[in-house]
Structures are given as structure tokens and as C-alpha cells.
Structure 1
Amino acid sequence: MTRNQLSKRSKVTQQLFIGTVAALTFILTVACSGNSGSTTDETLSTSTPPPARAEKPNIAPELQPNKDVGADASNTAPRQGGVFNTLWSDPPTIDPHLVTDGTSYGIVIEVFSGLVRLGADPVNPFEPDLAESWTVLENGTVYEFKLRKDLKFSNGDPVTAQDFKWSFERAAHPDTASTVAEEFLGDIIGIKEIVEGTATTAEGIQVVDERTLRLTIDAPKAYFIAKLTYPTAFVLNKNNVESLGRKWTDKPVSTGPFNLKEYRIGQRIRLERNNNYWGRLAYLDEVVYNLAGGVSMAMYENDEIDITSVGLADLERVQDPTEEINRDLVEVPPNFAVSYVGFNIKEPPFDDAAFRQALNHSVDKQLIADQVFSNLVKPAYGIIPPGFPGFSPNIKGLEFDPQLAKDLLAQSVYADPNKRPRIVLTVPGTGGSPGLTTEVVADMWRQNLGIEIEIQQVEWATYIQDLHRGRLQAWSGLSWQADYPDPQTFIDVLFRSSSAINYGGYANQQVDKYVVSAQTEQDATKRVKFYNDAEQIVISEAAWLPLWWGVDSKALVKPWVKDYVFSSMTIPKFQNVWIDK
């Protein structure tokens, strides 16, 4: 395949798919995180936070300002009442301690909360939540949190330091089966032993009094506060969880600005205002997530939903100032995510670096950006996105070079197609097209290398479960989105050999050495260099096939929606949103 040319089959698929590129923007965004940080194939970030005081991060992010939609020029005071409607999909879980995907994350952060949260300020993103303040002691190994006065769960029960201790230990307990507890809480002394089943309590969690919680970590780590913004560190009501058992998420007791009022699988989720929330109460009466599916643009124009992304097929029309819908058009900052094809390094043929490198060099990312996405994305030759802390333009990527790809394949132990194992690329979905990007990549492998693959679709919840259990040989239709503004959330979390979120089983001793050194390095410049050096190895060994990073995109927001803030990372959205109609 030469540059600037899509195969005939891909062009046909493009005509079918083009109108829905980014249409899933508001359905499966984030990352989530630990996927936590994971999102679907073509997505944007649509997070909205409340502004407040924040602690200065250890690495100053080069983040873009968040986009505040519907700021009222008439100075009308926000008012309570109204319903915000959005298109979503069924979350794999509503248990904060199990969240590993953006679909679940987007719901959970509205209903539950923790000691600290990510806020609207892109330079000082960490702000107090249930904790009113914290102090760092013992050269950065002890964090003492002071809870707000008169904190309550949504049912009126008091929230105490003991509830946090129980919640952290519950998240780590083997019976909870969290795949990310060790990754996000494992710096606390004693958590790893609970995860391993050799202890039931963590000595690094001390309840000083009802309002004071002391956490001791194994070494000074610049990103520790950032990790506590993830749902694994959210507080739960012990009686609620233990009395209802596995069904506790049907009627969860919350601490966030909203309560879960109703969840009908495949139909809708309804959140209602939490009148026992510690801060200013939410203006909205309800947030309704439509789970039944549909064409988002049509639903928007029929006033069924209040927000939608703009697919390529609709872009020219909505940008036309003579069109009435143009008044709703909003510029959306890029989310800090990388879309990629993942490889299970432990399974043939992906256990051979030359084979993986051949696959990388055979994919024309610029063509994908130009012809599939009309330059709405940027080809990714590294992992960390541009503008994110730790991004380096000096990372040498595996660029499109079909002849080099052929040479590498010839050097591979899987050069002989008759001795090459069956290759299955799994994507999330329930039928229909697996996604234009996936088909284009498969075409490039076929045309440039003669490699045939099978594309398999599985339902989203099963996809996430299989991914975490290492059952997938290769996977696509996924992005990794930053959980917090620190390069640790990309390079360490994804590629350290001992990380539970290292889905492909990638292992390199030098990468491990770099990321472990970065964990305790207090000099920001040296930390970033450790991550960049590790990233270069990851890219050179083709642990992944990075595809693209997001760029600025477009969305539509109803004119009656006020103070909706778009952010490059997923943060609580709806507390400040209000309806003016």
C-alpha cells in the first residue's frame, strides 16, 4: 500500500462509518483509567469540574485551559431545577473499587468521592474533596488528612476516618477482586499484603481520630496525591455494602453531589441531587443517561439529549454560520489519550520483537489521520500525548516504511506464514463494523506484509474482563486516557512489568529500572527524563502500535445548558451545570 491510498474495501467502510466518527464521544470516554483510563476507539473528553483551591503539582502540566460552555453573559444567577440528558452506555460496574473503564468512571465520579479530586484548574489540578486539608510529613512518606466537619453519607450516616480505612482495605481485599487496587493504593504500607491475602489490615493506614486519617507510604512519591483522585480511593458506607452484599450497587449510599436514583440496564440511568452533599448542592434535579442507543446527532436535533459530538459527515453543516445549529457549536480541547493496538507479548507471534516492529512500520498513521479522520487526530509515534507533562518531541517512533517492515518480517521467527499462528484482533462491539481504523490497519498489514488476521467483536463488559485477565492475543478499539496529570499514569502504569494494568505482559528490566527510579525522584526534570528513556525503549521494542492522539474537536451543547466545562481529563462534571429554560 502506498501513502495517500486506502484500499477499496476500506473506502466503502469509510462511507458507512464516517458519520459516526466521534459519535461515541460522550458514551465511552475516559480513563479511564487503570483504564482505568481506557476508552473506545474514536473518543473525546467531556469532563466538567467545579473550580476551587488546589495544591501545586510536582510537575507543572502544560495543560490547556478547560472550555466553559454556556457562561451566562446576562449575569443571570444559576438556579436549581431541570434535567440534563446525555447518551451513554451500560457501565460494567458502579462499584468505585472495581472501575477500570471510562464508561463506569463517568458515572461513579458523580455519585462517590474521596479525600481529594481533580479540579478545573489545569495548572493546580488537585483540590480538597471530603478532606478539607492535608499535611505532608516525614520527608514525604506520611500524609495526614483532616476531614471536613459534619460530613455525611447520603443516608445521613457520618463519614469518618474509620470509613476511609475500611474502604481502602476493602478495595484491596481479594474478595473484592479489584484489578487496580494495588496499582492505585499499593504505595500505602500494608496494602500489598492485603491484596496477596497475607493480611487483613494495613499498618500504613491509621485513624488518629474521627476526622484525622494518616497514610504512610513506602517511599516519597511525587504522584501519590494524584492517585487518590481515582475511584479506588473513594469512601463507601460499610453497612450499605455488607448488608446488601453483591447487590449493594443497586441502592448505593453516596458521598458525591448526586445519588443513583434508577438504573435500568439497556434503558437509562437517573441520578438525583444528593441533599446531604458536603458542598454547594447541585443545581440539576436529575442527570439522565440514555442507554438505549441511537444516532446521537438525530437525538440531539430532536431534543432527546443536550450534548453530542460532531461526526465528520455533519461537520461542514454545523460549521456553516447560516445554519441554526451553528449557534450550539463548541470547540472541545483534546483529551489526553492515546489510541493504540495492543499485543500480548507472552503469546506467539507477538513474543517476537521483529514481528511487532514489522507490524508497526507497515501502518501509515498519517494516511489514517488524513483520510479517515480528516486531520482531526494527530499520528502517535510515542505514548505520552503532546501538551501532557512529560511529553517529548524527541521520541523516535517507528514510522511508516513498508520495505523496512518486510525486512523485519523476514528476520522474524514467524517469517514463514505456514508456521505463523492464527492471529485474532479483538475489539469491543456487538455486530456491524468493527470500526474503520481497525479495518484500515488490517488492510495495511495484509497489503504491506501479506499478514491475514481475524477481527473478533465482543460485548464491552466482556472485552474489559478478558483484557484484564490476559485472554486477548491482540486488541484494538481502545484508548488510554490519563487519570491524573503525571507521566507515571502512562509509562509506569502501562509498561512496568509488575503493573496489573500492563495488559500485554510487556517486561523489560531497563524500563522497570527507569520507572522505579522515577517513582521516588523528587527532581521534576530528572523524573521526566526517566520516563522519556523508558518510553523510547517501549516504542523501539514495539510493545504497542500507537495510532493517534486527539486534537481539538467539535461538540454541540444546547443553549439552555449553562456552565458545562470541557476538560482534557475526566473529572466530576455536573455539580455546577444548570438549566436556563
Structure 2
Amino acid sequence: MKKILFAIFSVCLSFSLLLSGCGYAPGDTAMPTGDNVLTLIGEEPYTLDPAKVSDISSVTYIYQIFSGLLKMGDDLTPVADIAESWEVSPDGLTYTFYLKPNVKFHNGRVVTAADFKYSWERAASPETASGTVLTFLGDIQGVTEMVQGQATSISGVTVVDDLTLRVKLVSPCSFFLSKISYVTAFVVDKNNVSQGSGWWKKPVGTGPFTLTELTQGNYIVLNRNPDYYDTPAKIASVIFRLQSGQPMDLYELGGVDVAAVTADYLAKATDPDGVFAADLQVVPQLGFYYFAYVTSKAPFDDPKIRQAFSMAVDKARIIELCYKGSVSVAEGILPPGMPGYNPELVGLEYNLERALELIAESSYGSVENLPTITLTTSGWAGLLAPELEAVIDQWRQNLGVEVIVRQIDMELFLYDLQTEKDNLYYSGWVADYPHPQDFLAVLFETGASYNSGDYSNPEVDALLARAAATLDTHESMQLYAQAEQLLINDAACFSFWFGKNYMLVKPYVKGYKLNAMGIPILTEVTVEDH
């Protein structure tokens, strides 16, 4: 999560860590053994550096190894983590955090407020080249100046004493606490980082698990941190198998304890009379999948062309054919379950006649005058998700427009999209924290780091700014609703579908769950004798 912008995997319904290929050799003597070990499927991490990570798979490992001042609670509000309490000034500009005493890094060193100041300044340093720091820490005085090389420290962060950190904001921000629950704000050990660019392969965090083994293309092993400042994990170890088969095949053979259900296995997994009926869990996902129009490039610099492309696709039919009711059509941007979700929002309906009229009314006048249109997506070898193929076919059949597809390797898609994007791209976004700002402003505000479509609308910007500064929740949500409707009316993107997580969990695994952001919470898991 970048909030995570990430690539669409061709036929997958779940984009959590559980979704990839897997594998260590079952007879590997280096593996933890016994009944108190959980075996999952994992992806190769791109990085385990909290300041640089953007893909959801790597973020999932980071949540197990590192931690921050706050974390997101089950009720979708920030709760204490390393900070035991905090105070906010009446004007909403100053936050004072009081750290728990004797919180330790995995190497035994006690965490202090100075470690947070170091971690945040490292994230803001131009040398780190973090793609997330402005999104998550940019409200703090001095962060922008440091990122731009105009300062060598963050002026708005003060170490009062070993257990007290004072933070001053540029302007009131009603969701600041939610922002710093994300991994960019997690604390890292300076001595660990000083070991060189590969430090993250042997990370020293503060989380409930320690990284014991990371063998490229084979496996990752996490062991319980016995000195964890909160309640220690109940399981002794977690094994993540990498790159060795299909998740469902491994699950059926007993090679893993949990597996995500991909589209081609969905009918089998959801059969109420089938062998997996008792194992199936369906979890709502705060995720949004969409086509982003790059508005800085022709022809999507013209809103009428964007609207025409959106209205020329019968997305309800495509989603029903491809996913058979397992996901829902997205009319807006905020998914169901997200604070601020607006069921009354009016989308751009499928209307081929109006779509053709819009093209005629546009500055291009006719499809014959449109430039070559290339869509950027993740993947390889020309293998496309069936829903993507269907959308491209409807543009061809309904508008007479041939859209070329260019694929970027899945591992690099998130990190290279800003420089590699073409005229439009297909991707998804899962909440980093459950707040409308994480979707509407992060993806569409002028100049935002993840606004890869280069969308800009002063009216939307003004509404987002007012919503961010408004401390009254009801008023703030009304402003976000207005901004979302404007974005849809202007076809800032083509909203496509909202996701769900379908997963199988062995009956002897208890307490396994995903949080609202799709991250597995492993501290409460137990593995019974089997």
C-alpha cells in the first residue's frame, strides 16, 4: 500500500502478500519445524526499507518487523503503539507524543524520541529519495524544505527528552495521526542503516517478529520477538514460501496454511458443498481499481474525451462476466467501508450514444483525429487480465479506437510508473490508512506524489484543502463527497471495480485475519496440533 498504488495481477482477486507463487524445498533442514509454525505464500520483497517501500507485498513484511508511534485499530482509527499517549494543541498545529519506556530494537537498544527524529529526517533526506515521505510526513514543518535540499533537518520535529517528541504542522490536518500510522513514519535503527545500502536485508526493527532468514527466490523466515513491548506473538515462526507454484495447488497439497483464491479457482472455492467451504474467508478490501487518464498527454487533456472513454464501456457486464459477482462495480473512488463512502454518488453511466457525441464535441472532433493511444500496465509476455482485454475490445468496437498495450515488469511497475506512463494506465489503490484523503488527495490533488495521471483541477484542490483543515468530521466528509463527485464528473479516471479478499485458511489455524488495508495480523494467530 502505498496506500499503496500497485499493479493489477492478471487474474487475481486478492492483492495481499498471500497471492504470489511460492516455495522452499519441503525437506530443507534450515526451516523451523513443529506445530507452532505458520506457513504462508509470499512474494520477493522489493525493499524492506520503510522510507522507500511502495508495493503491498513488501509493506506486509515491514508491518511484522517494524513499528511506529501509532497503528491502525480495528475500528479504523489510530491507536497507541510505541507512543503510549499524545496531546494535540487547541489550534491543531502541535502534537506531543509520549513514548512507552523500554521499547527495544531487536538488538536490545532502547528506542528514544531521537530515533524517530532520525528516522523521519532520513526519510526526508534527498539521499534517501523516498517516494512516500511528502505524502505521509509532508504536513510537518520543514519536511518539504529538507526534501528539496533547502534544510538539513526537520524544523517541526523537536526531541523534548528521551520519551517525548513534539511535532509542529504547517497547517491543521484532521488525519495526521492516520498518516503516521503508515510505514513511512516507522522507526529504524541508525546503526543498522549505517551498515550500507543492503541494510534492509538484515533489518533491526521493533516489531513483533524478527527477520531470521531471507533467501532470494526461496523463502523468508520470521521468528517471534520475545522482547516485543506489546503482547508477544503466539506463534514461534512464520515461513513465507517464494516462487514455487500456484497457491491453490500448494494449499490442497498441504504445503501452506493459508492461500488467496484466484479467479480461476473461485467457483471451486466458493461452492457451498465443496471441499473448501469450511476454509473460505471473504474479507472486504478498501481497494479501488481504475484506469487513470494521463491528462498531460493527448487526447486525455480534453475532459470530453475522458468522459467518452468512460461512458463507452459497459463495466457492469464486463465485471459480471469476468468475476461473476465476486467484486462490485465502482461508480466512484471511495470503496464501501471507507469513511466518507457515498452510496448516492452519481457515476458516468454506460451510454454509447452520448460517448460518440462527446467525441464530436471535443477539441479533436472525431476519432480519426485522435493520436495513437498506449495503455501502460504490469505484466509480461502479452498476458493480459481478462477484464482489461474486455475494456480494450469495447473501446475498439464502440468507439473505433485501437488501444496499444505496453507492459512493465510487475516488480518495477509501481516504482517506474511516473516516468514510464503512456496515455493511460490500469492499476489499483488499497488504503494506506482509512481516510478519504488517502484516495482523493493522494491520487488526484495537483502535484501529489502519486498523481501519476497529472490531473489538476483548482476547484477540487480547494475542496480537498478545506476538507483537510476542517476538524469537524461531518463537515470534512461533506467536502470530500463534493470533491469526489467533481472528480467523477470530470472523468479524472475511469472507476472500474472495488475488490474483496478471498482466502482459504486451514481449520487448525486460528486467529488469522487481514486488517482493513489487507495486511495480515499475525500476532494473534495460533496453530493447533494437526
TM-score higher than 0.5: yes
Decide which of 71, 79, 96 is 1:144's aligned counterpart.
96
After superposition, the C-alpha distances for 1:102-160 in whole angstroms (9 at most, x for unaligned) are 122111111111000012x225x321111111111243211111111111110111211
Any conservation in 1 of the 2:117–2:158 contact (CA below 8 Å)?
Answer: yes
Is 1:158 aligned to 2:110, yes or no?
A: yes
1:569 aligned partner, one-letter code: M
Aligned match of 1:43 in 9, 13, 38? 13
**Hey, what's the Cα distance between the residues in 1 that align with 2:412 and 2:511?**
36
**CA contact under 8 A between 1:381 and 1:397: conserved in structure 2?**
yes
In structure 2, stretches of 5+ residues that fail to align are 19-33
2:518 & 2:273 partners in 1: Cα distance? 33
2:386 pairs with 1:436: yes
Correspondence for 2:455 among 492, 506, 515: 506
Which residue does 1:122 correspond to in 2?
Answer: 75
CA contact 1:154–1:275 (8 Å) conserved in 2: no
Take 1:320 and 1:488, find their aligned partners in 2: how far apart are those partners? 38
Give the conservation status (yes or no) of the 8 Å contact 1:382–1:546: yes
The alpha-carbon distance between structure 1 residues 532 and 151, as it changes in their structure 2 partners (threshold 3 A), is same
The RMSD of aligned alpha carbons is 2.1
In 2, distance between residues paired with 1:463 and 1:46? 16
* Counterpart residue identity of residue 183, structure 2: P
CA distance in structure 2 between the aligned counterparts of 1:281 and 1:425, rounded to whole angstroms: 47
Cα distance, 1:574 vs structure 2? 1.0
| Amino acid in the other structure paired with 1:255 | T
Map of 2:128 onto structure 1: 176
Q: Is 1:569 aligned with 2:517? A: yes
In the TM superposition, what are the counterparts of 1:197-208 in structure 2 within 5 Å? Answer: 197-208=149-160
* Residue in structure 1 matched with residue 29 of structure 2 by the alignment: none
Kindly indicate whether residue 443 of structure 2 is the aligned counterpart of residue 494 of structure 1.
yes
**Residue 535 (structure 1) aligns with:** 484
Measure how far apart 1:436 and its partner are: 0.6
Match in the other structure for 2:178: 226
Q: After superposition, where does 1:437-452 map in structure 2 within 5 Å?
A: 437-452=387-402
Q: 1:325 corresponds to which letter in structure 2?
A: F
* 1:275 aligned partner: 226
2:54 touches 2:132 (CA, 8 Å); kept in 1?
yes
- Identify the residue that residue 299 of structure 2 maps to in structure 1: 349
Q: Percent identity?
A: 38
- CA drift of 1:93 comes to 1.7
Query: Does the Cα contact within 8 Å between 2:382 and 2:407 map onto a contact in 1?
Result: no
| Structure 1 residue 579: Cα displacement | 1.0
SS of the residue 1:140 aligns to: coil
Matches within 5 A, 1:510-529: 510-529=459-478
Q: How does 1:228-307 map to 2 (within 5 A)?
A: 228-242=180-194, 244-307=195-258
Residue 104, structure 1, aligned to residue 55, structure 2: no
Task: Pick from 323, 344, 347 the counterpart of residue 394 of structure 1.
Answer: 344
CA separation in 1, counterparts of 2:192 and 2:93? 32
After TM superposition, the score normalised by the length of structure 2 is: 0.92
Quote the Cα distance in structure 1 between the aligned partners of 2:166 and 2:53.
25
Mapped to 2, the partners of 1:392 and 1:323 lie a distance apart of 36
Q: Is the 8 A contact 1:45 1:567 kept in 2?
A: no
- In 1, are the aligned partners of 2:288 and 2:335 still within 8 Å (CA)? yes
Residue pair 2:17, 2:41 contacting (<8 A) in 1 also: no
* 1:337 corresponds to 2:287: yes
Cα offset for 1:307? 1.2
- Mapped contact 1:483–1:570 kept (Cα < 8 A): no
Measure how far apart 1:320 and its partner are.
Answer: 4.6
Partner of 1:12: none
Measure the CA separation in 1 of the matches of 2:167 and 2:295: 36
Alpha-carbon offset, residue 445 of structure 1:
0.4
In the alignment, the residues of structure 1 paired with residue 248 and residue 348 of structure 2 have an alpha-carbon distance, to the nearest angstrom, of 37
**Structure 2 counterpart of 1:514, which letter?**
L
Whether contact under 8 Å (2:49, 2:200) holds in the other structure is yes
Deviations 1:463-512 (A, max 9, x none): 11221336343211x21111222211111111110211111110000011
Q: Residues 84 and 306 of structure 1 are in contact (CA less than 8 Å); yes or no, is this contact kept in structure 2?
A: yes
Find the counterpart in structure 2 of residue 422 from structure 1: 372
Seen in structure 2, the aligned counterparts of structure 1 residues 265 and 413 have a Cα distance that, compared at 3 Å, is farther
User: What stretches of structure 1 of length at least 5 have no aligned partner?
Assistant: 1-30, 49-79
State the one-letter code of the partner of 2:160.
Answer: V
- 1:402 Cα shift? 1.0
Letter in 2 for 1:275: P
The residue that corresponds to 1:132 in the other structure is: 84
Matched residue pairs, number? 513
In 2, Cα distance between equivalents of 1:499 and 1:214: 26
Q: 1:55 maps to what in 2?
A: none
Alpha-carbon distance in 1 for matches of 2:382, 2:252: 25
Q: Which moved more, 1:144-153 or 1:417-426?
A: 417-426
Instruction: Check 1:426–1:291 CA distance in 2 against 1; reply closer, same or farther (3 A cut).
Output: farther
User: Given the superposition, is the C-alpha separation of residues 549 and 470 from structure 1 closer, same or farther in structure 2, using an over 3 Å criterion?
Assistant: same
Closer/same/farther in 2, CA of residues 148 and 329 from structure 1, 3 Å limit? same
Give SS of 2:136's match: helix
Distance 1:541 1:511, change over 3 A: same
Distance 2:224 2:101 in 1: 21
Query: Using the alignment, how far apart are the partners of 1:320 and 1:438 within structure 2?
Result: 26
Deviation, 1:215, is 0.8
| CA-to-aligned-CA distance 1:313-363 (integer Å, 9 cap, x gap) | 444444455544333222x22101111011211111221211111110011
Q: What's the CA shift string for 1:152-197, capped at 9, x where partnerless?
A: 1101112110000010011011111011101110111111110111
Match of 1:82 in 2: 36
